[in-house]
Structure 1
Amino acid sequence: MVVELGLQEAQPQVKGSGLSAPRGHSKNGPHSRGLAMKRPKKGFKGWMQSAVLGFVQLWTTILGLDGKPIISEIIISVLVCVPVSIACSYWVWAGGIHWDNTLHVMMGAALGFLLVFRLQTAYNRFWEARGHVEQAIQSCRSIAVLVITQYHRHYGEPGIEVPKCVDDIRRYIMMYFFCMIYQLIDVDVRQKAIEELLTQQELQLLLRTPRARAITCVKWVAARLAHLEALGYMAPLQLHETNEGLQGMISAFNGLTKIKTTPTPFAIRQLCSVLAVVYVYFAPLALANEFSNILDQYWSVMLRTMLSSVLLGFAILGMNQTASVLEDPWRNSESDLPLVKIGAKLNEELLNLFAEPIPPLARFPPNFTPHPRPSP
């Protein structure tokens, strides 16, 4: 898909001259008063609407309606607590067996420390991945802005290859981003988003590379930038400035693939999971012992033990499963890290950036000062 580059500057027609002040400027110049907009006050209806939306958003998040719910991944493990609670309650109440809770309390402290440590480590991985995605987007934008502004500066000069080179850079930048995210979420590269950007020859060249196809796209971007410099549409110093963006693209890809291919140490994952399961399934015994000391009826002991065990299971197993989810930011779920949506928005942004014209210079009055004194 080739985009018609918006190279001509916008020329608004005005009364008396060929150019006028930019939109939003008044007769007294761009710094005239009266442009500030007051924020409307939120009445009772607005507050009620915000409250209802907040309530709906809360329960949408709790029930997992806007993503994969964490409850669905631990519900079976938590429901196992129900028969265990019934058995432990009957054993303690009917047999008169008393269980010392000291070991369970000490184990809970150690497990809490380990779960917090695993959650913090997993969130650091997720946050690092988000930072690398941001670095990739920033690098793509910096190269695109530099290229398109240079193209506007040389508009009207001869050069048949230049428009093709500029549009190729836009396409290769988006190919880099889509190839990178498809590799991260384990999706085949032959998707509609990439096929719309490629020619058949480019697709065949890309498929020859078994891995690191995003780096191949970076190489193509660098080749087009060098060709623009050879054509004289980019100074050597400006070509050198694009190296920072290219290095950022490579660095982001390396960081993301490092997180993808280097899992959290198995010993930590195994220890946290084993201790969580042991703690949750032995909790009904300790809870039944405590409730039997203050209650005489079996049903009272059993119901309280079962409810407490289920809530404890949701808390402990939920924390462990949340850490497991955060350790892999590339699960194909748009509620975790919406890479596909981010790529689509970046593609739309670059299309607008390369197609929209540059506004004309504003005509200021002779007595205009760039920094007027504020009015008293």
Structure 2
Amino acid sequence: MTAKSLPSLWGWLRSLVILRGSVLPRILPLIFLFGLYSALIVAAWQTHWPLPIGMLGELTGNVVCNLVLGLLLVFRTNSSYDRFWEGRKAWGDIVVNVRNLARTIQLCIPVQTAEQQQRRQKVLQMLPGFAVATKLHLRDMGENQELEPFFSPQELMQLRQSPNRPLQITLWIQDYLQQEFQQERIDTVRLLELNQFLNNIIQGLTACERIRQTPIPPAYLIYLRRLIVVYCLCLPVVLVPKLGWWTVPVVGIIGFILFGIEELGREIEDPFGFDPNDLPLDGICTMLVDNVMTISGIDVPDNTAPVPPIPTDSSLLPTH
């Protein structure tokens, strides 16, 4: 063991006991419920209560049944992780194109008067405001003080009345670019480049909305959960002749595996919320505010709402 491997090992061991981000608190009631049910089955077996051990043994030991359950769980987890990763890629596209748009506006749109300088700074402030508005939009949050540093009271009023606040912000940015082109401060090639950045930002917004508004079909979730429950109901009856009271902890462990995998899929299928396993949108928006303000040379607004930073513990993040 080298000194370099110690932090990674410590992080791995620490992840075994932390509860934040774990599915255990959510599935613990189900584990206790089926543990109690298993104890009743053991008590019934010890009092010679007739149990359909043979029939249920064929059901739980059937290769086809186990294969179907395993495939459904794998599909559930993969589908949820695909949604999580697609959401992260969409936000990555938003970040890249906001940075490029801010950089190009700052360097390639000349200003000769104080009014032009003010208008350019205003549209640069709108870019991180778009990211914050997108975060609030995906979380179905209404009016929020996080938008106040980036927009005037009149603009905030228009945003409150807009059914899609991020899209409204892109219209303002597009209007600014069009005015700069009409006043011949940028040429056609530069306008096309800036519009492409803006189109990519809208594409990222649309990808996030697609994930948010297209949940996994309820029929699939209902069937999977019923199948897990039936399996856990049959399992103690099959195990009790061989394990006795050991049936209770064994069923608890198997329930932890099955319910844990299903809950893990539910936890990450909507990656834009507030749960520990969701995307760190607050940290991403804070980073983007700092980036754009650094590019434009504008001071970071003091009244932005404090938000947590992006997690940096590599032991708790996906590795692929």
TM-score, length-normalised on structure 2? 0.85
Cα pair distance change 1:266/1:335, threshold 3 Å: closer
Match of 2:73 among 100, 115, 121: 115
2:120 matches 1:166:
yes
Which protein shows a greater Rg? 1
- CA shift, 1:59, in A, is 4.4
- In the alignment, the residues of structure 2 paired with residue 288 and residue 61 of structure 1 have an alpha-carbon distance, to the nearest angstrom, of 33
- CA shift, 1:237, in A, is 1.2
Aligned positions, number: 293
Match of 1:215 among 163, 167, 178: 167
- CA shift, 1:334, in A, is 4.5
Give, as a single letter, the amino acid of the residue that structure 1 aligns with 2:88: R
> Which residue in the other structure is 2:237 paired with?
285
2:229 matches 1:229:
no
- In the alignment, the residues of structure 1 paired with residue 18 and residue 210 of structure 2 have an alpha-carbon distance, to the nearest angstrom, of 29
> Which residue in the other structure is 1:75 paired with?
28
Write out the 4+ residue segments of structure 1 that deviate beyond 6 Å after TM superposition. Answer: none
Q: Identity over aligned residues, as a percent? A: 21
Q: More helix per residue: 1 or 2?
A: 2
Cα pair distance change 1:332/1:56, threshold 3 Å: same
> Which residue in the other structure is 1:62 paired with?
16
- CA shift, 1:102, in A, is 1.8
> Which residue in the other structure is 1:87 paired with?
40
Give, as a single letter, the amino acid of the residue that structure 1 aligns with 2:230: V
Once the two structures are superposed, the pairs formed by residues 57-206 of structure 1 within 5 Å of their partners are 57-65=11-19, 67-95=20-48, 97=51, 99-100=53-54, 101-106=57-62, 107-151=65-109, 154=110, 158-191=112-145, 193-206=146-159
- CA shift, 1:342, in A, is 0.4
- In the alignment, the residues of structure 1 paired with residue 290 and residue 14 of structure 2 have an alpha-carbon distance, to the nearest angstrom, of 29
Secondary structure at 1:126's aligned position in 2? helix
Q: Quick check: 1:133–1:252 contact (8 Å CA) kept in 2? A: yes
CA RMSD of aligned residues (A): 2.1
- CA shift, 1:60, in A, is 4.0
> Which residue in the other structure is 1:22 paired with?
none
- In the alignment, the residues of structure 1 paired with residue 197 and residue 276 of structure 2 have an alpha-carbon distance, to the nearest angstrom, of 27
Q: Quick check: 1:276–1:320 contact (8 Å CA) kept in 2? A: no
> Which residue in the other structure is 1:20 paired with?
none
Q: Quick check: 2:99–2:291 contact (8 Å CA) kept in 1? A: no
- In the alignment, the residues of structure 1 paired with residue 52 and residue 205 of structure 2 have an alpha-carbon distance, to the nearest angstrom, of 58
Provide structure 2 residue ranges, at least 5 long, that are not aligned to the other structure: 299-320
> Which residue in the other structure is 1:3 paired with?
none
Q: Quick check: 1:176–1:217 contact (8 Å CA) kept in 2? A: yes
- CA shift, 1:81, in A, is 2.0
Provide structure 1 residue ranges, at least 5 long, that are not aligned to the other structure: 1-42, 292-300, 357-376
